[in-house]
Amino acid sequence: MRRIAITGLGTVNALGPDVATCWPAFLAGENGVGLITQFDTKDSPIKIGASVKWDPTEQFDPPEFRKLDPFTMFALKSTEEALSDAGLDLASESEEQRERFGCIIGTGIGGITGIEEQGGVMRERGPRRVSPHFIPRIMANAVSGQVAIRFGLLGTTFTTSSACASSAHAIAMAFNSIRSGETDLVITGGAESATTPLAVAGFASAKALSKREDPSLASRPFDAERDGFVMGEGAGILVFEELERAKARGARIYGEMKGYGSTDDAHHITAPKEDGSGPARAFKIALKQAGLDTTDIDYINAHGTSTKFNDAIETTAIKRCFGDYAKSLAISSSKSMIGHLLGGSSAVELVVSALSVFHDQVHPTRNLENPDPHCDLDYVPREARDLKLRNVLSNSLGFGGHNVSICIGKHE
């Protein structure tokens, strides 16, 4: 089987507009949560969110800005960073070679900003005033299509959508595409921008969001006082390359993707199955595909949403898979700092996991002050940790019962 190298990373999220800014902030356990600024929250039950502090108008001129939803702009920016980080100039590649370059990106909700905006235009001004850019702006596959257009990717290109597991499924498909010989390089990851009045109201009605008033204390995975997740936004993009191609051009290799597991609870559209059997099977499949034993894993970047059921059930699933060795694992949640990016969360968390593998450092879980008795593993509270990492798992558990676990390891 062909091996897959991770050679480029890009992100924009609540901790910053690029990897160079975000990585030290993750290690420091900084807070990315603040007051929602995208809309007037006077009538909203939720006032806080983990919003991106980057102005897209700095990169996109007005005509282009009107054609793109924020989730697509986040992905385009992060792709540009990831390609630069990988030392790639795709414009210099031949058309024949670019036919073997693909783009697989996930999003859970897609262009909901445009849907709400143009819905308001139609109600107030009538159907003739709806923008001709409405459909190509809001469709979920706009993100992969626009990235392919911008960077000349002629190979397999599509979008995956499976709620919070969307970008994990995209990454898994990118892995399969290169491993099977279909492509040599794939731009993969995910993006989301759903901090809108309707989306926030919907999640609030489902009692999924934290109602804390202090933004800095709201996202607290595995803590006994957690009361819901914080809406985040942004993108994470990775460059996947066939290993021999990456080595031949002297690329820096952050790590290798070694396998993944994908299962479903087949239980409830929003609630995870309480015995943790679905995620546990995903972990085991990922290990089997990677050719690893449980004791070969040193760290887990948890789904860790800060919701009552998810954190306890993910802990149960880890114990089901790893047995007594679960207590030897370092585990932390990126969402404690950047909130929950929904379909984009898996991608940002894999960017973070790749940095952890490359630098042998794991970030802390922020706000873990009073651990839930049901969450009794090592969640790296308070401070980052230097840790020799061989292999790590990055977990995603989405509405619909979708469970995905991605295994990456150090390139030797």
Q: Which helix (H) or strand (E) holds 331?
A: strand 330-332
Q: Are 76 and 237 in contact (CB under 8 A)?
A: no
Of 17, 38, 75, the C-alpha closest to 194 is: 38
- Which residues have C-beta within 8 Å of that of residue 69, sequence separation ≥ 6? 110, 111, 113, 114, 137, 138, 142, 193
* Backbone phi, psi, residue 160, to 5°: -105, 145
For the residues of 114-174, what is the DSSP string, one character each?
HHHHHHHHHHHH-GGGS-TTHHHHHSTTHHHHHHHHHHT--S-EEEE-BTBTHHHHHHHHH
How many H helices and E strands in the chain? Answer: 14, 14
Distance CA 369, CA 84 (A): 39
Which entry of 169, 303, 363, 402 is annotated as an active-site residue? Answer: 303
Choose the catalytic residue: 103, 169, 321, 340: 340
What's the farthest any 2 CA atoms get from each other in the chain?
64
> Would you call 177 helix, strand, or coil by DSSP?
helix
Give the integer Cα–Cα distance in Å for 337 and 97.
39
**Catalytic pick among 22, 103, 164, 407:** 164
Please report how many Cα atoms fall inside a 13 Å half-sphere around the Cα of residue 280, on the Cβ side.
16
Best CA proximity match to 191, nearest among 9, 388, 341:
341
363 a catalytic residue: no
Active site residue 164: yes
CA distance 164 to 26: 21
Q: Active-site residue numbers?
A: 164, 303, 340
